[in-house]
C-alpha cells in the first residue's frame, strides 16, 4: 500500500509534474559569503514538501532564492536554475512571482503592526485584479480557516499574540490566491499545541484548496508528520531526501533530528560519538 503510493509519487516526479524545480542553485551573499552550495529540490503539485535542518543550514535562503526576496538582502543566485511550471523564474521580482502564484510567508511572521488584522489580510490581495467581490469572498474563506482572526479583525496586528500573527501572515498569503506557499519556520516561538494547530491548518488548506506547500522547519518531528516528502539540508547542501514516512524511520534522522536512537534517548555524554557520525552526513 505504502509502496504503491511511493511508486506513484516517484513516477509523478519523473513525469515532470513538479510545480517547482530547483536545480543545483548556489547562493552568495554580499558577493563573498557562499551559503548554498548546490541545492536541488522538486516540489510536486499539490504536495507538502519540507526542508529540514538546523540553524544556518540554508533553509531560509533556499526559500528566499525561490521567492526572490534575496535581492533586497544583497544575496544572489549565481548558479543553477529555478523552474516554476517549467518556466525559469529566477529573474522575476517578488511582485511578479506573487502574481504567478508563488508567495512566501516569512520567518518571524512579519505582520504590518499598525494595520488591523483585516487590513493585513487585504494587503495580501494587492497584486490581484479580479475585483472586490472575489477578494471579499476570499476574505471569508480565510476567516473560515482562521476563525480566531475574524474575532480580532479590528485590532492592530501588533497587539495580537504570536500564534495569531502567524495566522495573519498565513491568511495574508492565502489572500493572494497562490498555487504555492513558501512557509518559513511556522513553528517559531509558538507553544506545541499551537504548532500542531498551525500544521493542521496547513494540511487543511493543502487538501481543500489544492495549495502546494514548501516549508522550512527546525521542528523535524512535526514537519515529518504533516509533509509528504522531506529534504534535509546541512551546510548549504542537501544531505538526504525521501518520502516523509521513510525519513521518519531512518536511523540517522532519528538520531540527529528526532533525538532518538535504538537505545532510547541519547544522553549528553554520547555527544562525541554524535559528532563523529555527524561528519559522515556533512
Nearest-angstrom CA–CA distance, 249 and 42: 21
Strand ranges across the sheet with 180-184: 102-105, 180-184, 212-217, 48-52, 229-234, 237-243
Q: Does 94 bind other proteins (CB under 8 A)?
A: yes
**Beta-carbon contacts of residue 159 (< 8 Å; ≥ 6 apart):** none
Task: Specify whether the CB–CB gap between 47 and 33 falls below 8 A.
Answer: no
Nearest CB to other proteins, comparing residues 120 and 212: 120
x/- track of binding to other proteins for residues 159-198 (CB under 8 A): x-xx---------xx--x----------------------
Task: Specify whether the CB–CB gap between 216 and 59 falls below 8 A.
Answer: yes
H or E segment and range at residue 25: strand 18-29
Look up residue 194 and give its three cell numbers. Answer: 499551537
Q: Shortest gap between Cβ of 175 and other proteins (angstroms)?
A: 8
Q: Rule CB under 8 A: which of 109-148 touch other proteins?
A: 110-115, 119-120, 122-124, 126-127
Look up residue 264 and give its three cell numbers. Answer: 532510547
| One of 14, 78, 130, 158 touching other proteins (CB under 8 A) | 158
Q: Does 204 bind other proteins (CB under 8 A)?
A: no
Q: Shortest gap between Cβ of 243 and other proteins (angstroms)?
A: 30
Q: Does 105 bind other proteins (CB under 8 A)?
A: yes
Task: Specify whether the CB–CB gap between 5 and 199 falls below 8 A.
Answer: no
Nearest CB to other proteins, comparing residues 116 and 220: 116
Q: Which residues bind other proteins (CB under 8 A)?
A: 67, 69, 72-74, 93-95, 97-99, 103-106, 110-115, 119-120, 122-124, 126-127, 156, 158-159, 161-162, 172-173, 176
Amino acid at each position: 500500500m505504502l509502496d504503491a503510493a511511493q511508486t506513484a509519487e516517484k513516477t509523478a516526479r519523473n513525469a515532470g509534474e513538479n510545480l517547482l524545480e530547483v536545480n543545483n542553485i548556489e547562493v552568495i551573499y554580499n558577493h563573498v559569503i557562499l551559503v548554498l552550495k548546490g541545492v536541488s529540490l522538486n516540489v510536486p503539485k499539490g504536495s507538502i514538501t519540507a526542508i529540514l535542518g538546523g540553524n544556518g543550514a540554508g533553509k531560509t535562503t533556499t526559500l528566499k532564492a525561490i521567492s526572490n526576496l534575496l535581492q533586497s538582502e544583497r544575496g544572489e543566485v549565481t548558479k543553477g536554475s529555478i523552474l516554476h511550471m517549467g518556466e525559469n523564474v529566477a529573474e522575476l521580482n517578488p511582485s511578479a512571482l506573487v502574481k504567478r502564484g508563488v508567495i512566501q510567508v516569512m520567518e518571524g511572521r512579519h505582520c504590518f503592526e499598525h494595520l488591523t488584522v483585516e487590513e493585513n489580510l487585504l494587503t495580501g490581495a494587492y497584486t490581484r485584479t479580479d475585483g472586490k467581490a472575489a477578494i471579499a469572498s476570499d476574505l471569508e474563506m480565510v476567516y473560515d480557516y482562521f476563525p480566531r482572526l475574524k474575532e480580532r479583525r479590528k485590532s492592530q496586528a501588533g497587539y495580537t499574540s504570536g500564534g495569531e500573527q502567524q495566522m495573519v501572515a498565513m491568511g495574508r498569503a492565502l489572500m493572494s490566491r497562490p498555487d504555492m506557499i513558501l512557509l518559513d519556520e511556522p513553528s517559531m516561538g509558538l507553544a506545541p499545541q499551537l504548532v500542531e494547530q498551525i500544521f493542521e491548518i496547513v494540511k487543511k488548506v493543502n487538501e481543500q484548496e489544492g495549495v502546494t506547500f514548501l516549508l522550512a522547519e527546525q521542528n523535524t518531528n512535526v514537519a515529518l508528520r504533516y509533509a509528504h516528502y522531506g529534504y534535509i539540508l546541512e551546510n548549504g547542501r542537501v544531505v538526504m531526501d525521501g518520502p516523509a514516512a521513510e525519513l521518519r524511520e531512518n536511523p540517522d534522522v532519528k538520531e540527529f533530528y528526532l533525538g532518538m536512537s535504538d537505545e532510547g534517548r541519547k544522553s549528553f555524554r554520547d555527544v562525541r560519538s554524535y559528532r563523529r557520525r555527524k561528519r559522515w552526513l556533512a
